[in-house]
Structure formats: C-alpha cells, structure tokens
Amino acid sequence: GVSAPVWKKLSTKELGVRTSMIAKPTRVVLNQLRKK
C-alpha cells in the first residue's frame, strides 16, 4: 500500500513537469503566430 501513494506523487510531479515543458513551447509558438 505504501508504493501506491509514492507512485501517485511521482506521477503527478512528472506530469506537472511534462505539462509545463509542453505548455511553454506551445505558448511561444502561439505568440509567434499571433505576431505574424
């Protein structure tokens, strides 16, 4: 039962980092497209 919560915490952290890494480039691309 201990491995479950730990895995969830790690997964949430990884997902958060992945989403942030993906969100930043997409925002930059959208900004560039808007400028054009």
- What is the three-state SS of the chain? CCHHHHHHHHHHHHHHHHHHHHHHHHHHHHHHHHHC
Smallest CA-to-CA distance from 22 within 10, 14, 11, 33 is with 14
What's residue 32's pLDDT? 92
Region 22-30 average pLDDT: 87
Phi, psi of 2 (to 5 degrees): -75, -35
Does position 30 have pLDDT exceeding 80, yes or no? yes
For the segment 15-30, the average pLDDT, to the nearest whole number, is 85
**pTM for the full predicted model:** 0.39
Confidence of residue 24 (pLDDT cuts 50, 70, 90): confident
